[in-house]
């Protein structure tokens, strides 16, 4: 059983986060939370997202898994205006999710979630933790993408550094400890990442968001932030590139 009402802009945030990496996804629904875990087809990034039942105006659900075509769902949500309240209702017999808002209703066929494998979460010990503004991270990533496909993230006890080298140019963004909301780092660590993934991640991080970033040496970066007005959490893990910068 699933019957829920939610503001379209909140649902939009959640679905856009999930569809960063995948076109089809499996939402796990419990009585007080909806969550999703997925890796992209190239197995380079992993996203875990969860949002609480309190993000909904109405939420009545029994535990279940829901296979959803995220592309289709995104298109439906785009038809709504941000303040529209969307009603989601599961039609178990027809295996459909009925979505209605304003005077539109969409009966969306669900996917077989039993064939969607859940990825294993790596257990990596990341030694640093930095909290910074979404806008600072976005600026560094935008700057780097003008000259390269990769970015080096370095943490020292004094600062967080975003840098890259192109064929002829180099870019370096220094965020000193004082300018950061939080910065824990004992010794220097450094990893290299694909900008393609980070740039697309920035589409769902707002400039004012507090972003928590954890690093290691040639280890994945973990990026945590809140969505859905603080009622949802995203944890994003991106595997590094190891080798020539």
Residues that bind other proteins (CB under 8 A): 39-46, 119-124, 194, 218-220, 237, 239-244
Give the shortest CB-116-to-other proteins separation in angstroms: 13
> Taking a C-beta distance cutoff of 8 angstroms, is the pair 47, 27 a contact?
no
Give the shortest CB-104-to-other proteins separation in angstroms: 27
Judged by CB, which is closer to other proteins: 32, or 245? 245
Going from the C-alpha of 117 to that of each of 36, 162, 213, 223, the distances in angstroms are: 12, 34, 27, 23
Judged by CB, which is closer to other proteins: 47, or 88? 47
Give the shortest CB-199-to-other proteins separation in angstroms: 13
Give the shortest CB-224-to-other proteins separation in angstroms: 16
Rounded-to-integer distance, Cα 45 and Cα 60, Å? 32
Give the shortest CB-18-to-other proteins separation in angstroms: 16
Judged by CB, which is closer to other proteins: 208, or 242? 242
Judged by CB, which is closer to other proteins: 29, or 237? 237
> Bridge-partner residues for 226, per DSSP?
233
Burial 159-192 (b: 16+ CB within 10 A, else e): bbbbbbeeeeeebebebeeeebeebebeeebbbb
Going from the C-alpha of 49 to that of each of 14, 72, 80, 157, the distances in angstroms are: 8, 19, 23, 30
Judged by CB, which is closer to other proteins: 165, or 206? 165
């Amino acid at each position: 059983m699933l019957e829920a009402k939610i503001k379209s802009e909140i649902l939009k945030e959640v679905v856009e986060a999930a569809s960063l990496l995948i076109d089809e996804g499996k939402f796990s629904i419990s009585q007080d939370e909806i969550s999703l875990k997925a890796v992209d087809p190239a197995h380079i990034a992993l996203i875990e997202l969860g949002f609480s039942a309190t993000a909904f105006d109405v939420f009545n659900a029994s535990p279940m898994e829901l296979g959803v075509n995220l592309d289709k769902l995104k298109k439906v949500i785009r038809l709504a205006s941000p303040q529209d309240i969307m009603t989601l209702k599961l039609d178990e017999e027809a295996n459909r999710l009925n979505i209605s808002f304003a005077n539109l209703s969409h009966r969306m066929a669900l996917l077989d979630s039993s064939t969607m494998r859940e990825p294993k979460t790596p257990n990596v010990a990341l030694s640093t933790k930095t909290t910074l503004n979404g806008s600072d991270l976005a600026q560094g990533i935008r700057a780097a993408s003008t000259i390269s496909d990769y970015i080096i993230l370095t943490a020292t006890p004094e600062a967080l550094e975003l840098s890259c080298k192109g064929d002829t140019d180099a870019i370096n963004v220094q965020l000193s400890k004082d300018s950061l909301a939080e910065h824990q780092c004992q010794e220097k660590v450094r990893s290299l990442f694909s900008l393609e993934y980070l740039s697309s991640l920035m589409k769902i991080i707002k400039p004012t968001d507090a972003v928590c970033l954890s690093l290691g040496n040639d280890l994945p970066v973990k990026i945590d932030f809140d969505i859905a007005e603080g009622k949802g959490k995203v944890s994003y893990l991106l595997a590094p590139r190891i080798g020539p910068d």
